[in-house]
Amino acid sequence: MKKVEAIIKGNDFERVKNALKQVGIVPLTAYPVQGRGVQGGVPPYDLLPKIKIELVVKDEDLENVIDVIIMSARSGTPGDGKIFVLPVEDAIRIRTGERGNEALY
Ligand SMILES: Nc1ncnc2c1ncn2[C@@H]1O[C@H](COP(=O)(O)OP(=O)(O)OP(=O)(O)O)[C@@H](O)[C@H]1O
Ligand SMILES: [Mg+2]
């Protein structure tokens, strides 16, 4: 399992969310964040508002999820966002006790 952390522009959030749903990836966590990339903020703002999406996916779905996010969030200009991928040790669905891939979606 992998955790995908995608920091994207707020304007792209609906499109990314819908595109993930289209390929069967429904569960996610999202929240507003503030951040800066290599260019720093845009004066006078040191940090700019973004949306962070977190989702834990099966290893076999990882590349597809990355492609979907890129296709729905890329404009080709600075600030399109960034995706981080982290290993995940385990997942547990509290209702059933299922573990690992079974607990994801
Ligand atoms: N190395 C990093 N560590 C943590 N957060 C980051 C990092 N790089 C980018 N971010 C987060 O991602 C957001 C979007 O980054 P951004 O798209 O500007 O990346 P970039 O590397 O500057 O690429 P670009 O040149 O396309 O703008 C930032 O506002 C910040 O929240
Ligand atoms: Mg940047």
What's the pLDDT tens digit per position in 65-86?
999 999 999 999 999 999 999 9
- Beta-carbon contacts of 77 under 8 Å, excluding residues fewer than 6 positions away, are none
What's the pLDDT tens digit per position in 12-49?
999 999 999 999 999 999 999 999 999 998 999 999 99
The best mutation among 36, 46, 47, 53 to test binding of ligand 1, ranked by most ligand atoms within 8 Å of the C-beta, falls on: 36
In the prediction, which pLDDT does 51 show? Answer: 98
**What's the 100 CA to ligand 1 centre distance in angstroms?**
30
In the prediction, which pLDDT does 11 show? Answer: 97
- Domains contained in the chain, CATH given: 2-103 (3.30.70.120)
In the prediction, which pLDDT does 46 show? Answer: 96
In the prediction, which pLDDT does 96 show? Answer: 98
Q: Give every strand in the sheet of 29-35, ordered side by side.
A: 29-35, 48-57, 2-8, 81-87
Ligand 1 atom at shortest distance from the alpha carbon of 82: 12
Ligand 1 atom at shortest distance from the alpha carbon of 77: 26
